[in-house]
Amino acid sequence: MEVVRIAGTLGAEIRGVDLAGTLDAATVEGIRAAWLEHGVVFFREQTLNSDRFMRFARAMGTPVEYPFVRGLPDYPEIIEVKKLEHERTNFGGMWHTDTSYLECPPSGTMLIARELPPYGGDTEFASTVAAYAALSDGLKATLAGLRAVNSSAKADVTKSREDRVASDGREGARKEYTAEHPVVRTHPETGRKALYVNGGHTVSFVGWTEEESAPLLSFLFRHLQRAEFTCRFSWRPGSLALWDNRCVLHNPVNDYHGFRRVMHRITLAGDRPR
């Protein structure tokens, strides 16, 4: 197994591993170590049907279901993240952390490419550990005691899943989920501190109004997207990404109107942010 960094702050490609095969304990541990070190890891040319995709997910954690969209038949934890030829809005098309509106958001997300447009459709990733480290000591002190309200009902993110909820929505799904989490969380495995707010779901600081919260949140959202904290991945059929949802944001780029893009996604159970 070879781990090759693709950017200065986060992101690495793992080569020499066939995820469709039997993964011994040392290989799983090596993948996990690279994931924790680099925040997001990528694999190329993987031939994984749903059963093998799920088997790899179980080697890395405990797959969980997504609250708004049905999973595949026989695989409820695998959802289709897709944009069809006639659609203009892509699923989750903004910088965000997956389902931070849950009390225990996922520890990780894995995505595999099934159908791709002839161009475009890249995904950007950003290290919230690097973003936190770059803040001034004064702002770190201000944020240390703050908690934030995260909601599934912010307008932009709600619009981004309208097509999928219409076609594949779960019956009886709640209209809104909300959770309060620390603005600065400590990673339970690495001990690193990371900003834990995102433009897709964070609404306000606990005890502050939305109007009072907006200026500081706006600054933090812009700060998290600074180029030096990011990497960008261009997909090919069979490409797979695994990112640490506790310390990495992602943004699927919506630059392929008129073409189809289909990905399969699994999220892994996480703990309560602290």
What are the tens digits of pLDDT across the range 164-208?
878 888 777 788 999 999 999 999 999 999 999 999 999 999 999
Q: In this predicted structure, what is the pLDDT of residue 55? A: 97
Average pLDDT rounded to a whole number, residues 53-67: 97
Q: Which tens digit of pLDDT belongs to each residue from 100-142?
A: 999 999 999 999 999 999 999 999 999 999 999 999 999 999 9
Q: Tokens in use for 46? A: 């993987």
Is the Cβ–Cβ distance between 187 and 35 less than 8 Å? no
Catalytic residues: 96, 98, 250, 265
In Å, how far are 50, 53, 72, 80, 266 from 75, measured between CA atoms? Answer: 7, 10, 5, 11, 10
Q: In this predicted structure, what is the pLDDT of residue 101? A: 97
d(C-alpha 216, C-alpha 242), whole Å: 30
φ, ψ at 34 (rounded to 5°): -65, -40
Instruction: State the chain's mean pLDDT as an integer.
Output: 96
Q: Evaluate if residue 247 carries a pLDDT over 90.
A: yes
Give residues with Cβ within 8 angstroms of 68, minimum separation 6. 152, 161, 164, 165, 169, 170, 173
Q: In this predicted structure, what is the pLDDT of residue 175? A: 82
Q: In this predicted structure, what is the pLDDT of residue 158? A: 77
**DSSP letter at 170?**
P
In Å, how far are 90, 107, 198 from 251, measured between CA atoms? Answer: 10, 17, 11
Q: Determine how many CB atoms are found less than 10 A away from the CB of residue 191.
A: 7
In Å, how far are 70, 133, 262 from 81, measured between CA atoms? Answer: 11, 32, 6
Domain 2-268 has CATH 1.20.140.10: no
Q: Which tens digit of pLDDT belongs to each residue from 146-171?
A: 999 999 999 787 777 777 878 888 77
